[in-house]
Structure 1
Amino acid sequence: MTYELGNRTAVVTGAASGMGAATAELLAASGVRVALLARRADRIAGLAEKIVADGGQAIAVATDVTDSAAVTSAADAVRRAYGRVDLVVNAAGVMLPNPIAAGREDEWQRMIDTNVTGALRVIRAFAGDLIDTAADGRTADLVNISSIGAHVTFPDYAVYGATKAALTHLSAGLRTEFGPRDVRVTNIEPGLTDTELGHHIDNPTLSRQLGGMFEALGGLSAAEIADLVAYAVSRPRHVNLRQLVVLPTRQA
């Protein structure tokens, strides 16, 4: 399914794989000019080539959202290529579960830097674009990809859940700032979704546990989350789907 979203310009972080890549592809197929931001330059370059070959518009901008200067530089590159941005999708994220007693400060810092501070850097970089777009009477959207882990607790996922709870709360707070300026803020909380997030887990027990959950409950696809993003941003500009929780039926 595609949507009528022509003449819009989007930035999608985490576009090298999973929900970010699927969202970028669907937006491009719906007529959106898409800037792909992610660390893996080869992956987003390949995706940009595919999108263009399929008749869409896309550029790849290698960006590490944990690097403030890199995000600022990426924002400048996007504006040089496409002008003002009116749609931002924060899909970059990392999930590194382990017991708190394991003391994995390296993992804690990486999740905070990516899932929370990284999203903040991207929002700061493009907030002016969104506000100016809305002031001109056009649709402006910020979409944050959080997780059901923001409000459903799982053993050994405490830090990951805390970062996603922060992102969910940030989205709510931003609506008080952006809503009166006609900028929509949508927070999406997926349940079990088949992406590369689980591949980063270095705890064999937790890795097997996650695999067992997929076997027992099934999982959503990245394309299904992308469809939800595109649906939300295709609504009339006075309609804000503020909080969307999406789960596999057996998990619900």
Structure 2
Amino acid sequence: MSYENLSGRIAVVTGAASGIGEAVAVALAGNGARVALLARRGERLAAIAGKIRADGGEALPVVTDVTDDASVAAAVAAVRAAYGAADLVVNAAGVMLPHPVADQRVDEWQRMLDTNVTGLLRVTGAFSEDLVRAAADGRTADIVNVSSIGAHIVFPDYAVYSASKAAVTHLSQVLRTEYGPRDVRVTNVEPGFVESELIDRIDDERLAGEVGAMRDAVGALSAEELADVVAYTVSRPRRVNLRQIVVLPTRQV
């Protein structure tokens, strides 16, 4: 789909090296936004940026670790130097490491919380000044947080991942009370099954088999389909805030 009023916007997308983040970055750039691609895998970012440029778009690869203050601060400086103040931030970086709580994978718990929750807050806070300034100047300004249907639906062995996404959903609601009065929109997107690296990276054979069987039974959205939902959302008139969107394959209930 084409969303002409995205042309000229300055977008920052975390988790842009693959999956949902990559698809969102490509979709926004395809609609005329200047897009900063933030993730840890530099070679992958460079390849995606090259593809966007080859298709006539503008892209800036910025190697960034959302769990690190200095890395995020450097990313803000790089985006400002290249494009100016960002008016759109999509928090798509996330990790899913399912195991029973009894396994006591404390390192994995910390990694999920650091990336899925604190990383989102770190990026949002770092670009806050830019977003508020853009809105005050009469530009459309957006924060889009990618949560998960797992914020509501209970799955055994996904306790910490689900808790982290429930936190994202609740944080999005609270952030809207802080940013909405300053004309910055906040949208929380909760996808169901989406084709991405999250599922492929499950290292427990039993859990990988279970989630694979569920996905096969109900189907999965493509990352591009979810990206179109995000592009549609941020292309609405600036007075319209689609604050909560649940996106599922039709057979997933």
Shorter-chain TM-score tier:
over 0.9
For the residue of structure 1 that corresponds to 2:36, the secondary structure is strand
Shift of 1:201: 1.1
CA-to-aligned-CA distance 1:47-75 (integer Å, 9 cap, x gap) = 00110011000010000111111000111
**Correspondence for 1:96:** 97
Q: Deviations over 1:89-121 (max 9, x none)?
A: 000000001100011101100100000000011
Trace 1:1-252 onto structure 2 (pairs within 5 A): 1-4=1-4, 5-252=6-253
1-structure distance, mates of 2:238, 2:79: 24
TM-score for the superposition, normalised by structure 1: 0.99
Q: Distance in 1 between matches of 2:171 and 2:216?
A: 33
Distance 1:221 1:99 in 2: 28
Paired residue type of 1:140 = A
Using the aligned pairs only, state the percent identity. 67
Cα deviation per residue 1:152-175 (whole Å; 9 max; x = unaligned)?
Answer: 111111100000000111100001
- Residue aligned with 1:194, SS: coil
Moved more, 1-10 or 36-45: 1-10
User: How far apart, CA to CA, are the structure 2 residues paired with 1:154 and 1:54?
Assistant: 41
Conserved? CA contact 1:2–1:26, under 8 Å? no
The 3-state SS of whatever aligns with 2:8 is coil
Q: CA deviation at 1:200?
A: 1.9
Moved more, 113-122 or 198-207: 198-207
> Which aligned runs of 4 or more in structure 1 are off by greater than 4 angstroms?
none
- In 2, Cα distance between the equivalents of 1:209 and 1:40? 29
Quote how far apart the aligned CAs of 1:2 are.
2.4
Q: Which runs of 5+ in 2 are unaligned?
A: none
What letter corresponds to residue 174 of structure 1 in structure 2?
Answer: L
Question: What is the count of residue pairs matched by the alignment?
Answer: 252
Q: What is the CA distance between 1:247 and its match in structure 2?
A: 0.5
- Note the residue ranges of structure 1 that are not aligned, 5 or more in a row: none
Letter of the 1:16 partner, please give it. Answer: A
TM-score by length of 2: 0.99
CA-to-aligned-CA distance 1:150-209 (integer Å, 9 cap, x gap): 111111111000000001111000010100001000000000111000122111100011
Name the CA distance, whole Å, in 2 between partners of 1:41 and 1:7: 25
